[in-house]
C-alpha cells in the first residue's frame, strides 16, 4: 500500500521562505527588503484589528512572488488572516499592469466564485487599491493553511507530476476537472475580465485586467487583438535572436488559422469563465493533496471555448504541437505517456460536464469544454501562449506546426472546391 504524505512535510505558512525565495543580491531581493523597510506595518495592523474586532499581530514569516508579498495576521481570539500587498514594479516593461484594475478584477472573481459556486476560494475581508497610509495596495483575506500543490509535490518522494499517492493524484485531478467545468458553466455575453459594480454589487465583464483591452463582442475581435498584443510584446521584450527569427510572425499565422478552425467565430456568445493560469502552482492543498483553495485570479477571463479548453499547467499535461515529428526514443516515450494522461483528464472533464448537464444545456452554436480539449483549435491557443515565453526553439517548433496545419487546411479547401466544380 502506498504511503500518505501526512506528517512528512510542513504545510501552510510554515513553508514560507521570505527573501530566501530569491537569489542573494538579486533585484527581487533588494525590492523585497526595501518594501519591508518602507511599508507602514503598524498602520496595517490597526486596519486589521478594526476589521477583525480583536487585537492582532503580523507573523515574522512572509511569502513573496513576482508582484506580491504575503504576511499572516494572527488574532488574539484565534483566527488568522493574510494580507497580500502589491510591491512596486521592477524596471521591466512586461511586468507593468494597471494595479487598480487588476486588484479590482481579482477581488470580484473571488467574490463571484464564493457566492455562486462550490469552487474553494479565500473570503475577502478588506481591499485598498487607492493611495493609502500603509503605503501599498493590499487585499486582506482568509488564511487557508495549505501549500501550493506544485511546491508540495517537489518536497515529497513521488514520481514527477504525481501529486501524492496514485489515489491522491487521481482525486486531485478529478477536483481540478470539476473546478474547470464549473467555472466554464457560467456564461456571459462578452469576452473580458470580471468586475463588480461597487454601487449595485452586480458583476459584469469589462476590459482585460492585464492589458486594458476589450471587452470584446466576438471571438474574431478578441483573437485579432491578442495576436497583435503578442507581436508587440515580443518586439518590445524578446531577445534579438527571437525577434530576428522567422517564427517571430507566428501570431499572424495564428490569427489566420484560428479563424479557419473556429466554426462559431462570428457567433456572439455566450462565453464561459476560464482561469488562463490554472494549474498546480495556483492551487492550495493539504498534506493529502486535497484542494483547499484556488488562488491568483488575475488570469480569470470570460473567454471563447478554445481558451477555456486548456489543460492545467505544471501537471504533466503538456500538449504537443500538432503534427510534430519526434525522432528521439525518450521524447517519443514521453509523448506517448503524456497522451494517456491527456486523454484521461479529458474524460474527467467530459464526465463532470455530463453530471452538470452541460450537453443538454449547450446551444447548437456552442460546444462542450471536453469536446474541444485536444482539438486543433485549442492547440492554437496553447501555441500562442507558448510564444509569449520568447524562446526561439519553442517558437520554431510551434511555427512548423502552424505551417503544417495551414497547408493541410488549404489543401482540404482546394479539394472541396475541385469536387464542387466536378459536380457542377
Q: What is the pLDDT of residues 357-373, one digit of tens each?
A: 864 444 444 578 999 99
Q: What is the mean pLDDT of residues 32-41?
A: 93
Q: Does 150-423 match 12-144 at the fold level?
A: no
Topology given in CATH for the domain delimited by 12-144: Phosphorylase Kinase; domain 1 (3.30.200)
pLDDT band at 20 (very low <50, low <70, confident <90, very high): low
User: Residue 157 — pLDDT band, cuts 50, 70, 90?
Assistant: confident
Burial of 21 (0-12, 13-18, 19+ CB in 10 A): middle
Average pLDDT of span 156-161: 87
CA–CA gap between residue 125 and residue 140 (Å, rounded): 5
Average pLDDT over residues 386-403: 95
Q: What share of the chain is helix, strand, coil (3-state, %, to 5)?
A: 50, 15, 35
Whether 24 has a pLDDT exceeding 70, the answer reads no
pLDDT in the model for residue 91? 63
In which element (H, E) is residue 341 found?
helix 329-356
Residue 126 has pLDDT above 80, yes or no: yes
Range with the largest mean pLDDT of 90-99, 350-359, 370-379:
370-379
Non-local CB neighbours of 273 within 8 Å, separated by 6+ positions: 183, 184, 186, 188, 194, 300, 301, 302, 303, 308
Residue 139 has pLDDT above 50, yes or no: yes
Is 70 exceeded by the pLDDT of residue 424? no
| Residue 216 bridge partners (DSSP) | 191
Average pLDDT rounded to a whole number, residues 392-411 = 94
What is the pTM (predicted TM-score) of this model? Answer: 0.89
Q: Are 342 and 310 in contact, with CB atoms under 8 Å apart? A: no
pLDDT-based confidence at residue 422 (cuts at 50, 70, 90): confident
Best CA proximity match to 357, nearest among 181, 189, 179, 183: 181
Lowest pLDDT segment from 67-71, 205-209, 234-238, 359-363? 359-363
Average pLDDT over residues 120-124: 96
Burial class (CB in 10 A: 0-12, 13-18, 19+), 95: exposed
Domain at 150-423: CATH code: 3.90.1200
For residues 180-189, average pLDDT: 96
Averaged over 36-41, what is the pLDDT? Answer: 95
Is 222:301 a contact under the CB 8 Å cutoff? Answer: no
d(C-alpha 296, C-alpha 86), whole Å: 13
For the residues 277-306, what does the mean pLDDT come to? 94
* Domain ranges (residues) in the chain: 12-144, 150-423
Q: In this predicted structure, what is the pLDDT of residue 27? A: 84
Least confident of 123-132, 210-219, 255-264: 255-264
d(CA 180, CA 283): 12
Q: Where are the beta strands (DSSP E) in 181-270?
A: 187-188, 193-196, 203-206
Distance CA 231, CA 236 (A): 9
Q: What is the reported pLDDT for 9?
A: 58
pLDDT at 363: 44
| 291 has a pLDDT exceeding 60 | yes
Q: What is the pLDDT of residue 18?
A: 62
Per the CB < 8 A criterion, the answer to whether 156 and 164 are in contact is yes
Amino acid at each position: 500500500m502506498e504511503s500518505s504524505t501526512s506528517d512528512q512535510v510542513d504545510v501552510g505558512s510554515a513553508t514560507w521562505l521570505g527573501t530566501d525565495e530569491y537569489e542573494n543580491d538579486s533585484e527581487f531581493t533588494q525590492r523585497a527588503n526595501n518594501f519591508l523597510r518602507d511599508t507602514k506595518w503598524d498602520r496595517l495592523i490597526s486596519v486589521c484589528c478594526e476589521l477583525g474586532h480583536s487585537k492582532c499581530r503580523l507573523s515574522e514569516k512572509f511569502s513573496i512572488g513576482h508582484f506580491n508579498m504575503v504576511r499572516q495576521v494572527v488574532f488574539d481570539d484565534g483566527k488568522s488572516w493574510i494580507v497580500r500587498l502589491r510591491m512596486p514594479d521592477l524596471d521591466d516593461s512586461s511586468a507593468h499592469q494597471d494595479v487598480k484594475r487588476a486588484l479590482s478584477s481579482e477581488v470580484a472573481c473571488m467574490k463571484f466564485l464564493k457566492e455562486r459556486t462550490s469552487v474553494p476560494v479565500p473570503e475577502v475581508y478588506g481591499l485598498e487599491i487607492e493611495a493609502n497610509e500603509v503605503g501599498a495596495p493590499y487585499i486582506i483575506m482568509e488564511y487557508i493553511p495549505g501549500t501550493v500543490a506544485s511546491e508540495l509535490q517537489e518536497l515529497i518522494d513521488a514520481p514527477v507530476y504525481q501529486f501524492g499517492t496514485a489515489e491522491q493524484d487521481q482525486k486531485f485531478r478529478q477536483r481540478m476537472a470539476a473546478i474547470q467545468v464549473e467555472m466554464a458553466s457560467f456564461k456571459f455575453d462578452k469576452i473580458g475580465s470580471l468586475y463588480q459594480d461597487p454601487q449595485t454589487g452586480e458583476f459584469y465583464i469589462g476590459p482585460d485586467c492585464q492589458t486594458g483591452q476589450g471587452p470584446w463582442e466576438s471571438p474574431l475581435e478578441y483573437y485579432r487583438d491578442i495576436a497583435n498584443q503578442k507581436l508587440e510584446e515580443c518586439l518590445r521584450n524578446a531577445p534579438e535572436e527571437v525577434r530576428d527569427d522567422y517564427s517571430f510572425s507566428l501570431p499572424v499565422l495564428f490569427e489566420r488559422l484560428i479563424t479557419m478552425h473556429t466554426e462559431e467565430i462570428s457567433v456572439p456568445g455566450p462565453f464561459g469563465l476560464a482561469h488562463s493560469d490554472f494549474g498546480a502552482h495556483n492551487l492550495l492543498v493539504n498534506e493529502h493533496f486535497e484542494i483547499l483553495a484556488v488562488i491568483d485570479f488575475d488570469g480569470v477571463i470570460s473567454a471563447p471555448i478554445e481558451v477555456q479548453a486548456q489543460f492545467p499547467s505544471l501537471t504533466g499535461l503538456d500538449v504537443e504541437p500538432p503534427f510534430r515529428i519526434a525522432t528521439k526514443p525518450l521524447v517519443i516515450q514521453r509523448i506517448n505517456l503524456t497522451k494517456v494522461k491527456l486523454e484521461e483528464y479529458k474524460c474527467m472533464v467530459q464526465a463532470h460536464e455530463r453530471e452538470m448537464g452541460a450537453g443538454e444545456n449547450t446551444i447548437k452554436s456552442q460546444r462542450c469544454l471536453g469536446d474541444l480539449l485536444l482539438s486543433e483549435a485549442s492547440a492554437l491557443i496553447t501555441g500562442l501562449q507558448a510564444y509569449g515565453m520568447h524562446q526561439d526553439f519553442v517558437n520554431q517548433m510551434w511555427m512548423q506546426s502552424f505551417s503544417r496545419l495551414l497547408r493541410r487546411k488549404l489543401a482540404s479547401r482546394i479539394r472541396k472546391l475541385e469536387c464542387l466544380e466536378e459536380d457542377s
